[in-house]
Every structure is written in structure tokens, then in C-alpha cells.
Amino acid sequence: MSCAVWEERVALFAGGDLETAEAAGVERHLTGCAACSALAQELRLELDGLRQVHAEPLATEHYAAVRGRVLAELAKSPRRGLVWPWAWAAALAVAAAAVLMVVMMKPAAVPATVLPRVVAVAPPAHTRGNDRSLTVAAPKRIGVGRAGTPAHVERAALPAIEEQKPIMADAATPTPPAAAEDSPVRMVQLATDDPNVVIYWLFEEKGEER
């Protein structure tokens, strides 16, 4: 067997890097191989020599020089314990500045239009002259009559707007001229749940809208 095969194992054996069984195998080979035995002996001597050379301690001033350089380098930077509070303060300042910029760049708020409060929503019941067919059946709560005429008011729920639509559609027939000429002021009286509150809705029909 070529000893080249054993070289690596002999090198490990010389440094004590083989397990017991493997080391025993190398030892058996060494007893019968003078070349490998000599190699093992040389390797041991060199390793011992290398350890002796490097066993000599370095002078203390070399260590001190390194420490001095490191501490000098650290002295240029903020102390470790103060790094985080400083970073937090900086982060907070940046965040505050960002919020301030957003607030300042936001357009001035448009004053909200004060809308009148909707008291009741219901289309007026129509009474067009004598054409009673166009008259929308007055909601039970809504009395319709000419101005000054007491409206008939019944206490009931307000009709839904949707219910008015077919009626309005039916009323889409051209307004008779007589009706147009007769454009009285109408009044819708809306009752509320509060008997002390009555809403009057005055309007004038021109005839173009039905």
C-alpha cells in the first residue's frame, strides 16, 4: 500500500486528532512502515517547535497599544449608554416636525354650511283648481288647503315619498291653461307629534312642474 494514503491520517495522528480505533489502526501501520513512522516523528517535532515559538508571550505594551487605540476611537463617538436616549429624542423631534408640516400644509377648513334643520319631508298635496284628479291624496298627517283655509290634519304617519311617484307620473299630463292661470298660494300644514308645533309650508304653483 502506498504511504501517500496514510499521510493525512498520520498527520492527524501526530496532533492527537484521531479517535481511539482510528489511532490504533495508524499505530499498527507505523510499526511496519519506517517512512510513515519517520513522518509522524517529524510532524510531532514541528508541532512542538511551533507551539514553543508561539508560546512566547507578546510584550505587554503591544496589548496596551491596542487598548489605547480602541478607547481613543470610542472617545470620538458618543458614549454607549447615551446613544439610545439621544436617538429617541431625535426620532421624536423628526416625528413632531412631520406632524407639524402636515398640519400646516392642510388647506384651511371650509366652514360648514349651516343647513336648516329638516322638519318634515313630504311633497305637498296638489289641488289644482277643480281638477281633483290631480290632487294628491293628502297624507293622513298633512292637511292641504288654500292659504288661510284651515287645513285638515289627521294624526297619522307620514306617507313614504315613493308612494307619491306614481301619482306624480300620472299627473304629468299638460297643465290646463286654466290651471296655470290659477296659481294660488298653497299651504301645507304639517302636524308634528307635539301638538304645540305646527308647520305651515306656503308655496305657489306655476304650472311648469308637476
Partner 1 sequence: MKSLALAAVEAGDSPEGRDVTLEAARAGDRVAFDLLMRRHERLVLATAYRLAGNLEDAQDASQEVFLRLYRNLEKLDTGNLAAWLYRVTVNVCHDARRRRPSTVPVEDAPELAAAGDPQQSAGEAERKALLLRSLRMLSEKERAALVLRDLEGLSTAEVAGVLGSSVGTVRSQISKARLKMRDFVERYSRRRL
Closest CA to 185 of 154, 206, 170: 206
Considering only 28-36, 78-86, 87-95, 134-142, which stretch makes contact with partner 1 by CB under 8 A?
A: 78-86
Looking at 21, 82, 115, 121, which residue binds partner 1 (CB under 8 A)?
82
The window from 77-85, 112-120, 132-140, 163-171 that contacts partner 1 (CB under 8 A) reads 77-85
Cβ-contact 159, 139 below 8 angstroms? yes
User: Which member of 3, 35, 66, 91 binds partner 1 (CB under 8 A)?
Assistant: 66
Q: Which of residues 34-63 bind partner 1 (CB under 8 A)?
A: 39, 42-43, 46-47, 49-51, 53-54, 57-58, 62-63
Residue 76 vs 117, nearer CB to partner 1? 76
Alpha helices in the chain (DSSP H): 4-14, 20-32, 34-55, 60-75, 80-105, 165-170, 177-181
Least Cα distance to 137 among 126, 148, 122, 153 occurs for 126
Q: Are 141 and 153 in contact (CB under 8 A)?
A: yes
Residue closest to 29 by CA, chosen among 46, 18, 47, 45: 18
**Which one among 2, 20, 21, 71 touches partner 1, defined by CB under 8 A?**
71
- Dihedral sign for Cα atoms in the order 176, 181, 182, 183: positive
Nearer of residues 69 and 155 to partner 1, judged by Cβ: 69
Task: Evaluate whether 155 touches 141 at the Cβ level (below 8 Å).
Answer: yes
Q: Does 21 bind partner 1 (CB under 8 A)?
A: no
CB of 107 to partner 1, least distance (A): 46
Binding site for partner 1 (CB under 8 A): 7-9, 11-12, 14-15, 17, 39, 42-43, 46-47, 49-51, 53-54, 57-58, 62-63, 65-67, 69-71, 73-74, 79-83
